[in-house]
């Protein structure tokens, strides 16, 4: 199997290559692709260096599977071409997510949708993936009618340059200097920015619309009521979310814990009296979606409040993409 990774030098691309190795995905030949800036550099895969090439119109000839994580512009440009060349594209950007022909897949929720692809499969937004992994098994028991989310999203969700901005900003503040911001509209160090993507005329941000639209599409609940505020916080890795889930029938916190303990991809950490709940620092670099603080909401009937944490570079991006590839392989939609 010839596997291309577009965006191989980025935070997500590197994680993808690491996961292909870690999960022993059957790669015969790796084709790491990026912009001309990185051409000639190398990435390590299975103990040997592989040369990075600048993506061109010829890059996808003979490629079976192409994992994309280079942003929406390159995805719009290259994904149709790669698909026409015969590759199956698993795309991490937002370019194709809401295209009706393109499946938007979280394997724990709608893995079979991946098998109906027409050449491109979209990987959802990081904040949306962890929310639906937690909400879906509860929905199957009690029928979800409302999803409310406030997110606390780490800077690695913005890419490698944002990590430097947080580190530099934190050092500046601690040295008594003014932090510089070029990636974010305000300094991210020691701050919380309720601003991810651009705002529409009603003041709703792009990231908030992603949560609304993508969660409806993945769970196939087109009329689900969703409200969301997305916030960037000075955490290097790992998104945290405060969710409110309202159901048609009553679901006790204890029953929700039982369901989530048995749910694929979920780990319950819920002993608040012992100060045990999921934390971004403790869960960074791991695969599951962690759920804690499971309790009845104080303001709404038939509603549970949850605290959900996951590594945005793994389940929020690279791991979900590699799991989609595994689903394709198991479903016979990729040749082994
Ligand atoms: N970070 C997350 O948690 C996360 C989660 C879900 C989805 N995503 C999506 O995944 C994508 C990548 O995110 P990231 O965090 O890995 O970003 P990143 O660290 O900034 O890396 C960007 C990658 O894209 C490549 N690239 C940029 N422009 C390109 C072009 N015109 N042609 C070819 N390659 C180009 C870069 O190559 P060079 O080294 O040559 O510049 C680099 O490999 C984005 O679409 C993002 O929205 C990210």
CA distances from 165 to 186, 189, 192, 270 (A): 11, 8, 14, 33
- Nearest-CA residue for ligand 1 atom 43 is 7
For the chain, domain boundaries:
2-124+317-330, 128-312
User: Which residue among 159, 197, 318, 321 is best mutated to probe the pocket of ligand 1, counting the most ligand atoms within 8 A of its Cβ?
Assistant: 159
| Ligand 1 and 126: CB distance under 6 A | yes
Helix (H) or strand (E) holding 132: helix 126-142
What is the pLDDT, as a whole number, of residue 86?
95
| Ligand 1 and 13: CB distance under 6 A | yes
Measured from the Cα of 312, ligand 1's closest atom is: 3
Residue 76 confidence class, pLDDT cut points 50, 70, 90? very high
Q: Could you tell me how far CA 330 lies from the centroid of its own chain?
A: 22
Q: What amino acid positions are annotated as catalytic residues?
A: 126, 239
Longest dimension (CA), the chain: 59
Q: Is the pLDDT of residue 334 over 90?
A: no
Across the range 273-296, mean pLDDT stands at 98
Across the range 42-62, mean pLDDT stands at 97
Distance of CA 325 from the midpoint of ligand 1 (Å): 19
| Ligand 1 and 284: CB distance under 6 A | no
Which residue stretches of 28-117 are H helix?
72-84, 107-110
What is the pLDDT, as a whole number, of residue 64?
97
Q: pLDDT digit string (tens) for 148-175?
A: 999 999 999 999 999 999 999 999 999 9
Asked if 2-124+317-330 and 128-312 have one fold, the answer is no
Which residues neighbour 128 within 8 Å (Cβ) at sequence distance 6 or greater?
Answer: 210, 211, 214, 215, 218
State how beta strands 2-6 and 65-68 pair: parallel
Across the range 302-309, mean pLDDT stands at 98
| Ligand 1 and 92: CB distance under 6 A | yes
What is the pLDDT, as a whole number, of residue 333?
86
Name the average pLDDT for the chain.
97
Tell me phi and psi for residue 62, to 5 degrees.
80, 5
Which residues neighbour 257 within 8 Å (Cβ) at sequence distance 6 or greater?
Answer: 268, 270, 294
What is the pLDDT, as a whole number, of residue 335?
64
What is the pLDDT, as a whole number, of residue 158?
97
What is the pLDDT, as a whole number, of residue 154?
98
Across the range 59-88, mean pLDDT stands at 98
The proportion of the chain whose per-residue pLDDT surpasses 90, expressed as a percent, equals 98
Q: Under CATH, what is the fold of the domain 2-124+317-330?
A: Rossmann fold (3.40.50)
Superfamily of domain 128-312: Dihydrodipicolinate Reductase; domain 2 (3.30.360.10)
What is the pLDDT, as a whole number, of residue 206?
98
Q: Is the full-model pTM beyond 0.75?
A: yes
150 contacts 228 by C-beta, under 8 angstroms: yes
Q: pLDDT digit string (tens) for 185-241?
A: 999 999 999 999 999 999 999 999 999 999 999 999 999 999 999 999 999 999 999
**Both tokens of residue 316?**
């929020």
Distance of CA 278 from the midpoint of ligand 1 (Å): 27
Across the range 53-65, mean pLDDT stands at 97
State how beta strands 65-68 and 88-91 pair: parallel
Q: Is the pLDDT of residue 336 over 90?
A: no
Task: Work out whether the CA dihedral 253, 258, 264, 268 comes out positive or negative.
Answer: positive
What is the pLDDT, as a whole number, of residue 287?
98
Q: Is the pLDDT of residue 1 over 70?
A: yes
Q: Is the pLDDT of residue 75 over 90?
A: yes
Q: pLDDT digit string (tens) for 119-139?
A: 999 999 999 999 999 999 999
Distance of CA 59 from the midpoint of ligand 1 (Å): 18
Residue 257 confidence class, pLDDT cut points 50, 70, 90? very high
| Ligand 1 and 70: CB distance under 6 A | yes
**Both tokens of residue 261?**
């303990």
């Amino acid at each position: 199997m010839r596997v291309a990774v577009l965006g191989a030098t980025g935070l997500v691309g590197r994680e993808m290559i690491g996961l292909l190795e870690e999960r022993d995905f059957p790669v015969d030949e790796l084709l790491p692709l990026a912009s001309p800036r990185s051409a000639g550099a190398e990435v390590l895969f299975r103990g040997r260096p592989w040369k990075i090439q600048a993506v061109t119109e010829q890059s996808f000839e003979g490629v079976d599977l192409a994992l994309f994580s280079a942003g929406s512009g390159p995805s719009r440009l290259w994904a149709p071409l790669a698909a026409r060349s015969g590759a199956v594209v698993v795309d991490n950007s937002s370019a194709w997510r809401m295209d009706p022909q393109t499946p938007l897949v979280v394997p724990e929720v709608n893995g079979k949708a991946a098998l109906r692809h027409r050449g491109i499969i979209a990987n959802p937004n990081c904040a949306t993936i962890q929310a639906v992994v937690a909400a879906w098994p509860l929905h199957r028991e009690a029928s979800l009618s409302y999803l409310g989310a406030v997110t606390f999203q780490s800077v690695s969700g913005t890419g490698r340059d944002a990590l430097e901005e947080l580190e530099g900003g934190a050092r500046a503040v601690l040295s008594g200097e003014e932090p510089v911001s070029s990636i974010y509209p305000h300094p991210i160090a020691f701050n919380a920015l309720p601003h991810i993507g651009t705002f529409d005329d009603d003041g709703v941000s792009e990231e908030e619309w992603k949560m609304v639209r993508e969660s409806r599409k993945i769970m196939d609940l087109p009329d689900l009521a969703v409200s969301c505020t997305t916030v960037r916080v000075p955490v290097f890795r790992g998104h945290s979310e405060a969710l409110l889930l309202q159901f048609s029938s009553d679901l006790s916190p204890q029953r929700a814990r039982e369901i989530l303990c048995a749910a694929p991809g979920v780990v319950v950490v819920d002993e608040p009296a012992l100060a045990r709940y999921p934390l971004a620092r403790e869960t960074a670099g791991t695969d599951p979606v962690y759920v804690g603080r499971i309790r009845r909401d104080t303001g709404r009937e038939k509603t549970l409040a949850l605290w959900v944490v996951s590594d945005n570079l793994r389940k929020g991006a690279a791991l979900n993409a590699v799991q989609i590839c595994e689903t394709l392989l198991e479903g016979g939609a990729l040749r082994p």
